[in-house]
Amino acid sequence: MRLRFPSAGVAFLAVAAALSLAPAAALERDDFSSNRHPALTSSWSVIFFRKPVPTFRDHARAQADEQPGATDKLPNPPDKLPKPPQGDRARNIDFLFDALKAAPNADIAKQVENRIWAIWLASGSDTADLLMNRVKAAIEAKDTRLAIQLLDSIIEIKPDYVEAWNRRATLFFALKDYGRAMADIQEVLNREPRHFGALAGLGMILEEVGDNKQALDAYRKALAVNPHMQKIPDQVKALTEKVEGRDI
């Protein structure tokens, strides 16, 4: 549900405070466990039984030197982000999610969104940060196999680092290894149910394997968290017509 403010001026002040990271009450979280979200349970049969899933090894050998195209990528953070804020991480990010819903326009929303990404990308580990820099370099060098191996190491030493799971899901998706991509997205959402990038990515995978109903549900959840996401409203509109039919 979107936050409602009595006036545009109040909404502006709320967002301005978010951009300066003033303290605020925490946003209530929705559980996104596989027990409560059918997209992470019923769709496993779609992925593993209705359509054969290529292994990472098969695709890595064939595609490790190929740079994924724009249409082959799950949502990822921008290249340039502000520094993560100081103070209580959970309180900061809760406040930013409140501000994201209250943002009066797309430009302000993007600034808030970038601050959320900055918090997600802050691992809290020098080793993990160093390895993530190497992941970025490997991706830029079109060495997908090395990038995934580095992410394996990061996840082993820092399993609560959400963006390591999210980045690896992106690479598995580019290799069309949807089973592993879905598994990593579930790990992301288990740790951060409001991860709008993972929710949108979940929708992309489900749509790719033909589960339009669950894809639509995932896209709607992404928009409920971040109403300002680009392209996702168009996906929702198209899938709504397919799944629910046109309004008469």
- The model's pLDDT over 40-77, given as tens digits with 9 standing for 90+, comes to 444 444 333 344 444 444 444 444 444 433 335 667 77
Sign of CA dihedral 20, 23, 24, 29: positive
Per DSSP, 127 falls in state: H
32-49 pLDDT, tens digit per residue, is 344 444 444 444 443 333
Where in the chain are the domains? 32-78+125-244
Tokens standing for 112?
């808030």
Query: Helix, strand or coil for residue 231?
Result: coil
Q: Where do the H-state alpha helices sit in the chain?
A: 8-19, 42-45, 56-63, 89-102, 106-121, 126-140, 144-157, 162-174, 178-191, 196-208, 212-225, 232-244
Rounded to two decimals, the pTM is: 0.70
Please provide the CATH number assigned to the domain covering 32-78+125-244: 1.25.40.10
CA separation for the pair 33, 180 (Å, rounded): 17
Which pair of tokens denotes residue 116?
Answer: 């959320």
CA dist 88 and 84 (Å) reads: 11
Lookup: tokens for 13 = 């002040």
